[in-house]
Amino acid sequence: MPKQKSHRGAAKRFSFTKSGIVRHKQMNANHQVRLKTTKRTRHLRNAGVVDNAAEARTIHKLLPYK
């Protein structure tokens, strides 16, 4: 019986809390940081939460062993 493969790209982009909430990195935090305010870049460091329940279920299916 072959092992089940997880989607490695999704594994790099998402993480889970102990209660199963899916977290993601904020967008717009990678380039042209000098143009953004300090407050904006500080808030972009924090992880966001996937609010859409259907997307969260899909991510859980892509990452069966997390």
List pLDDT tens digits, range 5-19: 888 888 888 889 889
- pLDDT at res. 44: 95
CATH class of 8-62: few secondary structures
- The secondary structure element, H or E, covering residue 43 is helix 38-44
HSE, CB side, 13 Å, CA atoms: give it for residue 53.
Answer: 0
Q: Is 33 a residue whose pLDDT tops 90? A: yes
Domain range summary for the chain, segments of one domain joined by +: 8-62
Q: Is 30 a residue whose pLDDT tops 80? A: yes
List pLDDT tens digits, range 36-63: 999 999 999 999 999 999 999 999 999 8
- pLDDT at res. 53: 94
The Cα–Cα gap between 55 and 37 comes to: 31
- pLDDT at res. 56: 94
